[in-house]
Amino acid sequence: MEEQMNCIYRTIHFIEKNYDEPISVKDLEDVSHYSYRNIQRIFKYSCGETIGAFQQRLKVENAYKLILYSKESLTSIALEVGFANIASFSKAFKQHFGISPKAAKLSKEKLLCGPDLIPVTSDILLEPEMVYLKPMQIYYQSIQTYYNNEEIEWLWEKFMQNEFPISETEYFGVIVDEPLIKTEINCRYDACSTSQSKHKKLPSKMIFGGKYARFAHHGGYETIDETYAKIYSRWIFNSGLEFSHSPIIEKYEKHTDGREDQLTYILLPLK
């Protein structure tokens, strides 16, 4: 079972890195160490969708992020995420989101206030620190969630059972999918450490490598949505910056029993 899960992690990570390129049968067999038929079966059972559907979803979801956070034309975005032309991109985008790319580009703010999205109203303007972070290797486990605190806490309880070196380990949460535009079943959150487990071999990948806007959240995780609301409602569209479609990362800088003393950094990737 553990080998199958590591196989899924390897396959997901490979597709995430290469979603905008053609992926061959041999590519999937090499990275998963399974036959194409078996990896398709294991992937569908574990992730609830086929490999082809997963890659197509990554294309349109990453395109949506570029529409929201960049100034690129729709044609450039279509080619950047791996579509052959604007027509095939528009068709796939509308099938997935129920709205055309053109309509999405013309109504960014409205799209961030839909019925299934987190509220984005705040009178407080946050100011981030701009930082450059070098690439870093992390070890991780994942969960599908809608940034749900109970599910994330359950993942961290399970993750910490692996036991990590206390003095030298840093901890991160990688929000693989954009929480503003995802449906519940398709969101993924990674619990990450900079050290390998003492008990079993966890999958690894690289994070960071570039510029980030770093926001500070003070207090417990049950109020972190309020900090996100302040970021998205008052800062993100008025900053004049362009954002990368790589994941948002949380760094758990200070975790204490007294929740008011906790410090979490929210890192938004910049172009």
- Domain at 243, CATH number: 3.20.80.10
**pLDDT the model gives residue 146:** 64
Q: Which of 252, 247, 254, 268 is nearest to 171 (CA)?
A: 252
Domain limits for position 197 = 129-269
- Residue 52 and residue 34 in contact, taking contact as beta carbons nearer than 8 Å: no
The CB density around residue 187, as the number of other CB atoms within 10 Å, is 20
pLDDT for the residue 179: 56
Q: Which residues contact 147 (CB under 8 A, 6 or more apart)?
A: 118, 175, 179, 187, 189, 225
Measured CA to CA, the distance from residue 40 to residue 46 in angstroms comes to 10
The pTM of the full predicted model, rounded to 2 decimals, is 0.78
Pair (139, 201) in one structural domain: yes
Does residue 80 share a domain with residue 16? yes
In this prediction, residue 118 carries a pLDDT of: 44
The answer to whether 29 and 36 have CB atoms below 8 angstroms apart is yes
Instruction: Please indicate, yes or no, whether residues 45 and 92 belong to a single structural domain of this protein.
Output: yes
| 101 and 138 fall within a common domain | no
> Do 141 and 80 belong together in one domain?
no
pLDDT confidence of residue 234: 62
Structure tokens at 151: 């599910």
C-alpha 30, offset from chain centre? 25
Answer yes or no: do 14 and 89 share one domain. Answer: yes
Are 135 and 179 within one domain? yes
Same domain, 85 and 167: no
For residues 92 and 111, give the distance between their C-alpha atoms in angstroms, rounded to a whole number. Answer: 18
* Residue 228 forms part of a structural domain: yes
At residue 217, the pLDDT reads 92
Task: Report if residue 123 sits inside a domain.
Answer: no
Residues 148 and 250 in one domain: yes
Domain for residue 100, yes or no? yes
Q: CATH number for the domain including 37?
A: 1.10.10.60
177 falls within a domain: yes
- Report the number of distinct structural domains present in the chain: 2
> What is the edge-to-edge ordering of all strands in the sheet holding 171-175?
129-133, 210-218, 263-269, 248-254, 171-175, 188-193, 136-144, 204-207
Instruction: Please tell me whether residues 104 and 141 are part of one structural domain.
Output: no
Same domain membership, residue 148 and residue 18: no
Q: Distances in Å between the alpha carbon of 168 and those of 162, 164, 174, 267?
A: 15, 9, 19, 21
- The answer to whether residue 8 sits within a structural domain is yes
Q: What is the pLDDT along the chain (271 residues), one digit of tens a residue?
A: 567 778 888 899 899 889 999 999 999 999 999 999 999 999 998 888 899 999 999 999 889 888 887 888 999 999 999 999 999 999 999 998 888 999 988 876 554 444 444 444 445 567 889 999 999 999 999 887 766 678 888 999 999 998 898 878 999 999 887 655 554 445 788 999 999 988 788 889 999 999 999 999 998 888 888 888 778 766 776 777 778 878 889 999 987 665 667 899 999 998 8
Same domain, 86 and 150: no
